[in-house]
Amino acid sequence: MTTRTPRLDHPDGELRWVGDPRWSSVTTPTTRAVIGDHHHLLVVAAHPDDECLGAGAFIADAAALGVDVTLLILTSGEASHPRSSTVSREDLGARRRAEGERAAAELAPAAHVVHVGLPDGGLAERQEEISAAVASFCSAGTLALAPWTSDGHPDHDAAGRATRTAVLSRTSAGEAGVNLAHYLVWFWHWGEPDLLPWSDLVVVDATLDAQSRRTRAVQRHHSQVQPLSTAAGDEALLTDAVLAPTVRGFTTLVLPDRGNLRPDAPSSQRPATFDAMFDCGEDPWSSDTWYERRKRALTTAVLRRERYERVLDLGCSTGALTRDLASRSGDVVAIDVSQRALDIAARDAPSGLTWIRGEAPSIITELSGPFDLVVMSEVGYFLTPFELWLTLGGLIERLAPGGELVLVSWRHATREIPLDGPRVHAQVRAVCDRWSVVTLVEEDVLIDVYEASR
């Protein structure tokens, strides 16, 4: 990505995005559903790294489905550091072309990478050339994926417009099965929610493998994520704040022609699944083991107040931690997806506890805030990335000023669930980093505490 402004990251960061209620109405198809009958994904990037930042995980998942991937990089990104006194534009362009190929190999090992060689910063004047280049790779069964036409960077917008023109020319000429989708890069940093075309959006959750590939691909762009040197003008452009939208475990696409796409429903079996865990006993999580007892002790130890007015325990299971929280508050709301867990938890429970069966994120909308403390202990990785996003937005909305959000996770690899602990914590930190007050990283457990400031 090439910058024309002093800063890329909006001062309000991800916080201004996560809480918008319109996310809940966005269609959530799978990668396979978006790909449909297309066998070829043509990815258009104005600069090396645009595709990683805007749609890296989607590209990786599409490639894993066996889709042929072509990456068309329109410029070499040679203007990314216009004030550099140590690297010439020619050398920087060569470096970035090589980085683009290494990144593409991370996302889609068999991808065909094409460098068009147009001038960085000059795409608006080269629309016909771009359209011709795109059209030459658009055949029957191609889904073209390009920057959004209102992404806000002149090169991105031009690439999006030219790709749209090329696709229209192909379909007008009778080429069957050629379609278009757009990804967003720069817009997340300068734009506002009201400017998004919400009715044309889809959100596509990524697999854990695709998220890892996307992360590795971004890091391949050394000239952007690391300083070129210590000299002025050689600063790293892709800082943590700039990369925050890429940490989302899902891809947002502008897809006006959505056809018969329908939302996926991965959560429909969760109540039965978690209820079934109690078929062999009333303590499937082994709450009396040293790990569980120590984890609860660590969780209560990081709480910054002696007493809390109102507490939410999301994913309470049989209530072992909930009882500890009740000793610090007179009003605790405890939620779990399993009715069998709640029945066990409610036995001989102390006063001041309210037990609710419900599933995140939908149950969050039924809660009345504010809460002074919200705890999510070993819950986040059972949610899809977009469900985690919706849940986090709802919890932040219900968090009192100065209230604490506590996130606790098993640190090791997970199996057959959407996320793992490190990914959950990374996604939440990308939103709430400015509120961070406590971070605990141990061999087995991760704990983060955020204190809301408004």
The region, left, alpha or beta by phi > 0 then psi within -120 to 50, assigned to residue 169 is alpha
The region, left, alpha or beta by phi > 0 then psi within -120 to 50, assigned to residue 402 is left
Domains of the chain: 14-254 (3.40.50.10320), 269-452 (3.40.50.150)
Judged on CB neighbours under 10 Å (0-12, 13-18, 19+), 224 is buried
Kindly report, residue by residue over 31-79, the tens digit of the pLDDT.
999 999 999 999 999 999 999 999 999 999 999 999 999 999 999 999 9
Task: Give the whole-number percent of the chain exceeding pLDDT 70.
Answer: 95
Token readout for 431 is 């939103």
Band (pLDDT 50/70/90 cuts) for residue 187 is very high
Q: How far is CA 92 from the centre of its chain?
A: 29
Kindly report, residue by residue over 235-286, the tens digit of the pLDDT.
999 999 999 999 999 999 999 876 666 555 554 688 898 888 888 888 888 8
Q: Pick the residue with more confidence: 9 or 267?
A: 9
Per-residue HEC secondary structure of 43-63 comes to: EEECCCCHHHHHHHHHHHHHH
Cβ 153 vs Cβ 183: under 8 Å = no
The confidence score (pLDDT) of residue 57 equals: 98
The confidence score (pLDDT) of residue 370 equals: 96
Q: What is the mean pLDDT of residues 290-311?
A: 96
Band (pLDDT 50/70/90 cuts) for residue 177 is confident
